Amino acid sequence: MKKIFVLLLVGFFYTTTVNSNTDNSELYKKIDLFTEVLDKIRKEYVDEVDQSELIDDAINGALQSLDPYSAYMDSELFESMETDTKGEFGGLGIEVGMEAGVVKVVAPIDGTPASKAGVRAGDYIVKIDGEQVQGKSLMEAVKLMRGPVGSTIDLTIRRKGVKKAISKTIKREIIEIKSVDSKILKKNIGYLRLTAFNNNSSKQLVDEIKNIEKKEKTLGYILDLRNNPGGLLNQAINVTDFFLNEGEIVSTRGRKSHENRRFFAKKGDKVKGKPLIVLINNGSASASEIVAGALKDHKRAIILGSRTYGKGSVQSIIPLRNGGGIRITISKYYLPSGKSISEVGVTPDIFVDDDSDDFQINTETDSQLNYALKLLTT
């Protein structure tokens, strides 16, 4: 009850601070009101309240009223967030967002505890160690999922098409992200698996392409972006550029002039125009959607699989004086066609479902990969 009350108050406070039509005197009245309410909570609420925690909740409520991706991070979470983009962190190995007040799995990362336990993109986490997620902020839920390496966590999951709740017990591990993997498939088809867009991804990918080209005379490539939740924008631009000789890759538009940018490909297709198929699914988000959408718009690749997640915005992580930080949406990105993929996603050229019980990426049961391989070799 305390959480709901605070968030309602903060939503009221926040909207007044960003309304350019509200004069300063009215704004100060709202700030005074907010302070008064905090004081009343401190004095009158039935249980003793941690004032610091209450204000953290208020800040988070303001940010989360904007969109599902903006959030406040205390110093502990901020430090771990910085580690995430550098390629190593502790936890379960899932990218998550908020939807309808519960945690939604954007994608499990290959080879991590969550992936091995059978957590899927699109799953809803409704309880963490028996504690209801409803009413918590995204960062509070993330904090609950983190813990000492080797400790276990119980997740209660709801999955579309499954009536009963699914229980998963998962052991936390240090997550080392190897964002790129590759191999040569039958009939000399190069397979490139990209699971994240972190600082090293584009360099790793071009190195894998060079290694494949040295070993074999490839007939074509499969770029696998399934369950890739995204990451750094510049890495998505670099990866797309590897397969294009010219043309726009993506544009970003925001409130500030420096956030309105267009990015173009440089001459030099790393695979020399060889046939390319890009694999996507509902776990392909953000940076993955930039790559798939741009290659589709330029008709450089066949896009195969299922519709992507639909996250068409760019977040910036801004440090704060208290050692924490905020993640806030600063712009939206648009494909070369001018379309935004927010809430819509990228639609594949060829639909191939991945919802069978025995489906597993990059195995014999991988119907999407098998279909792509058939297209390139017949």
Tell me the whole-structure pTM to 2 decimals: 0.78
- Ramachandran region of residue 131, left (φ > 0), alpha (ψ -120 to 50) or beta? beta
Q: Please, which pLDDT band fits residue 215 given cuts at 50, 70 and 90? A: confident
Q: Which residues contact 77 (CB under 8 A, 6 or more apart)?
A: 139, 142, 143, 324
Q: Please, which pLDDT band fits residue 314 given cuts at 50, 70 and 90? A: confident
Domain 180-318+329-377 belongs in CATH node 3.90.226.10: yes
For residue 231 the two structure tokens come to 């990451």
- pLDDT single digits (tens) 57-104: 888 888 888 888 888 888 877 876 665 555 555 689 888 888 877 899
Give CATH for domain 88-176: 2.30.42.10
In the chain, the percentage of residues whose pLDDT exceeds 70 is 90
Distance (Å, rounded) from C-alpha 114 to C-alpha 177?
13
Domain segments of the chain as ranges: 2-64, 88-176, 180-318+329-377
**Shared fold status for 88-176 and 180-318+329-377:** no
Q: Please, which pLDDT band fits residue 52 given cuts at 50, 70 and 90? A: confident
Mean pLDDT of the chain: 87
Distance in angstroms between the alpha carbons of the first and the last residue of the chain: 61
Give the long-range contacts of residues 207-211, CB within 8 A, separation 24 or more.
208/180, 208/181, 208/182, 209/182, 209/242, 209/270, 209/271, 211/182
Q: How far are the Cα atoms of 65, 234, 253, 260, 331 from residue 257, in angstroms, in the given order?
A: 24, 18, 8, 5, 11
Closest CA to 194 of 226, 218, 221, 219: 226
Distance (Å, rounded) from C-alpha 243 to C-alpha 272?
8
Q: Average pLDDT of 102-121?
A: 90
**Contact present, 239 and 201 (Cβ < 8 Å):** yes
Q: Is the dihedral of CA 368, 370, 371, 375 positive or negative?
A: positive
Q: How far are the Cα atoms of 68, 177, 203 from residue 200, in angstroms, in the given order?
A: 27, 10, 6
Distance (Å, rounded) from C-alpha 344 to C-alpha 149?
37
- pLDDT single digits (tens) 168-205: 999 999 887 778 999 999 889 999 999 999 988 999 99
Q: Which residues contact 21 (CB under 8 A, 6 or more apart)?
A: none
Q: Which residues are catalytic?
A: 286, 297, 311
- What's residue 7's pLDDT? 33
For residue 18 the two structure tokens come to 């960003």
Which helix (H) or strand (E) is 131 found in, with range? strand 131-132
Distance (Å, rounded) from C-alpha 34 to C-alpha 48?
19
**Contact present, 180 and 192 (Cβ < 8 Å):** yes
Angle of helix 138-145 relative to helix 51-64, nearest 10 degrees?
120
Longest Cα pair distance anywhere in the chain, in angstroms? Answer: 75
pLDDT greater at residue 365 or residue 22: 365
